[in-house]
Amino acid sequence: MHTVVVGTSGVTASDVLAVARDGARIELSDEAVAALAAAREIVDALAAKPEPVYGVSTGFGALATRHISPELRAQLQRNIVRSHAAGMGPRVEREVVRALMFLRLKTVCSGHTGVRPEVAQTMADILNAGITPVVHEYGSLGCSGDLAPLSHCALTLMGEGDAEGPDGVVGPAGELLAEAGITPVELREKEGLALLNGTDGMLGMLVMALADLETLYKSADVTAALSMEALLGTDKVLAPELHAIRPHPGQGASAANMLAVLKGSELTGHHQDDAPRVQDAYSVRCAPQVAGAGRDTLAHARTVAERELASAVDNPVVLPDGRVESNGNFHGAPVAYVLDFLAIAAADLGSIAERRTDRLLDKNRSHGLPPFLADDAGVDSGLMIAQYTQAALVSEMKRLAVPASADSIPSSAMQEDHVSMGWSAARKLRTAVDNLTRIVAIELYAATRAIELREGLTPAPASRAVIDAVRAAGVQGPGPDRFLAPDLEAADTFVRGGHVVAAVEPVTGPLL
């Protein structure tokens, strides 16, 4: 099994994916253990002094003015975890919780938190044992970190609350730890706070969304090319020299992908035949511009994620010169903004894909295709309601594109008076990515059927490869009406698994 070694300088996106989705094992580097021990010495020294130090010998948030005596400090750390584990609603997905916990471990191992090495090792042991804390949908405002979600994880570390075992069964965390031979942690000064104060949940969901959207954008380039082909459009608008004079990198990449898919097609270039057209509709002609803008948004979001992955997010932090200083690095604004930005880009990509699907089904705009791609229009409805489903998904994506980060509700008696809502932005982006996958799948389903209905014209070799792969995956081709939901589900599985890209790349070479 793949092993991820956590050091002091952060982790990579591929590390997060390996732990969250593939169950990779975690090891702490010798450098990280040494940094943990050194920072802990600083915290212990400060804890022994009579002067109050925030997070070490004081209360938290609006209660930070109270100095906590030594005999109450362990109780203070336990209490902050128990009281902050106040989430409600549905359980958050296992991969999200694993990413959340792994990214908190990443910051702990930076040596800036003052957490003991044994606490970090226990976090790694829990992940390696396949134990997943039960975390709930609601509770994070994305400031002072993802407090409630991280508190539920810390509760498991203490052997309290509920968690899911490696067999998928939820039970008391203490029992699951005992079965795995893991001793619960007795938290000391600073440690409870350090386990809660990070942007780890929203960052984990950003990393996973970026991975999914990278594949989805390539898949959308392919389905846009198939729709252009099915509509007998012109691929002249994809010429590199046209995109060179508006040099947005994403636009050029999308146009190049579409051009590669369409190479050798007998269907493109017929726009001057029976019903001459000077230009194709925007949804066809401007596909690279819309998808390209989304790709450039992905690039910006990836830069933010990389910076955050290299960060140590905690408050207060232990600095190399021995100071323990309060700060505002836990504010989720940098991550929240790009999460919202990605939801906007995804909604627009879904919207333009739906417009191409609708064009394929409308006999007045499809240039010779049967109404709704039906076998016997009137007797058969064809893909009429598939487009309804697609439109419903697009409508929801537009609602999900409304920014969460534009909102803020003060909390903690006005001490935390401006929050990011980054967790909420991440949660709605996950739904948007799911919906976009289904929208692309419906366009794929319609476009492949439409191409097969163009008798006497041979599609591009890459298009043929996609059609053959889709049919082999159980997505049926043209014919009389049938129970449509299973076909759409099979198309969704095909897109979700990255099989669109896998089908064309042996013909086109690697897509950009």
- Distance in angstroms (rounded) separating the CA atoms of residues 84 and 54: 18
Tokens of 66: 């109270």
Burial 213-246 (b: 16+ CB within 10 A, else e): bebbbbbbbbbbbbbbbbbbbbbebbeeeebeee
- Distance in angstroms (rounded) separating the CA atoms of residues 269 and 341: 36
Please name every residue paired with 463 in a beta bridge, in sequence order, or none if there are none. Answer: none
Closest by CA position to 254, among listed 202, 201, 211, 214 = 214
| Catalytically annotated residue among 54, 138, 217, 445 | 54
Terminal C-alpha separation, the chain: 30
Q: Does the annotation count 337 as an active-site position?
A: no
Closest by CA position to 138, among listed 125, 152, 155, 126 = 152
Secondary structure (3-state) at 377: strand
Residues 293, 294, 298, 304, CA torsion sign: positive
**Beta strands, E only, 241-399:** 317-318, 324-325
- The whole-angstrom distance between residue 371's C-alpha and the CA centroid of its chain comes to 37
DSSP per-residue string spanning 432-445? HHHHHHHHHHHHHH
Closest by CA position to 200, among listed 165, 234, 167, 152 = 152
- Distance in angstroms (rounded) separating the CA atoms of residues 508 and 1: 33
- Distance in angstroms (rounded) separating the CA atoms of residues 227 and 373: 13
Q: Check if the beta carbon of residue 243 is closer than 8 Å to that of residue 287.
A: no
DSSP per-residue string spanning 93-123? PHHHHHHHHHHHHHHHTTT-S---HHHHHHH
Q: Check if the beta carbon of residue 36 is closer than 8 Å to that of residue 117.
A: yes
Residues belonging to the active site: 54
